[in-house]
Amino acid sequence: MKIDEIKSKAKGLGISPGKMKKDDLIREIQRTEGNLDCFGAAMNNECDQIDCCWRDDCLK
């Protein structure tokens, strides 16, 4: 997902993205949605969050 799309999603959730880095902004979105704030934390490209909308970007 492109940064503009991420910022738009954040704003829709009431998050002010300011100058947040992409990874930090995604983790803030995850927390706001009530999910694990695990973006970028997968070990050995293993992730059990199959339905996560960030999964593809996260495992890159």
DSSP assignment of the chain equals --HHHHHHHHHHTT---TT--HHHHHHHHHHHTTS---TT--BTTB---TT-TTHHHHT-
4-54 pLDDT, tens digit each: 999 999 999 999 999 999 999 999 999 999 999 999 998 888 898 988 999
53-28-46-2 Cα dihedral, nearest 10 degrees: 50
Determine the pLDDT at residue 60: 84
Place of tokens 């704003």: 11
Q: Round to whole Å and give the CA distance between 36 and 2.
A: 21
pLDDT at residue 28, as a whole number: 97
Query: Contact at 8 Å (CB) between 30 and 54?
Result: yes
